[in-house]
Amino acid sequence: MLFRINGQSLHVNVPTWATLEARVRERFAKRQGFALATVNLDHLVKLRSDGAFMDAYLAQDFVVADGNPIVWMSRLAGRPVELIPGSEAILPLARIAAAQGVPVALVGSTEEVLTSAAAYLEREVRDLRVACCIAPPMGFDAGGAAAEDVLRDVAASGARMCFVAMGAPRQEIFAALGRRVAPEVGFASIGAGLDFFAGTQKRAPGWAQRFAVEWLWRALSSPKRLGPRYLKCLMILPGQVLRAGFLRFSGGRGA
């Protein structure tokens, strides 16, 4: 699946869970790092006006579909991809890391959340070792000198997998910087995933997930904060759907 944003091409280049797991295993085996981003409508909105965010996205090795609208548009375009939310990728990636003897790091959120999430992961994933937990201070510049220091601390801990929980666009910017500063570390941007493990945030109930209305449940739970965000997402949706249809019926010409 391909998106055009301000003349730049953004690809969902990892279409399935099986592909993601195979590529991560290969990178670990070769002691090569990677950066994983999970694109959704909110990201597409932000990418239109944030050049640093776009640069960070273009530096990602793996891009997966995080959001049913992305999945639906991929089907319309004739290039179907699977839904791979960042929060749901944590445990599968942690299991791969544990199986290959790869220690992990947790960066972002708060010290309380990271401590609880680390305990949860080590309890749920046999042989997993959380090598370090780093909660950057308020005002942390994810692309600056302080971020480089954090990345060096991650590498020095022995971690070769880092879950980044800062929210977009900071986590993707941090991961892109990490590809240069800590090239043997794999970075996965996972949003609020660690907060779910720690119990400080709640996932949408099962019915909302089954009927693909998690966004509505979240919007109703925090309308002032999330309402404007989802409105912007809805505003760009018709144009994205039209482009997906064009990709299908043009056979990819102009992609």
Residues 64, 65, 67: CA angle, nearest 5 degrees: 150
Quick check: 203 pLDDT over 80? no
CA dist 140 and 189 (Å) reads 16
What is the rounded average pLDDT for all residues in the chain? Answer: 90
CA dist 53 and 57 (Å) reads 6
User: If you average pLDDT over residues 210-227, what whole number do you get?
Assistant: 64
What residue ranges do the domains of the chain occupy? 2-249
Quick check: 213 pLDDT over 70? no
Quick check: 252 pLDDT over 60? no
**pLDDT tens, residue by residue, 77-136:** 999 999 999 999 999 999 999 999 999 999 999 999 999 999 999 999 999 999 999 999
pTM of the model: 0.90
**pLDDT tens, residue by residue, 159-186:** 999 999 999 999 999 999 999 999 999 9
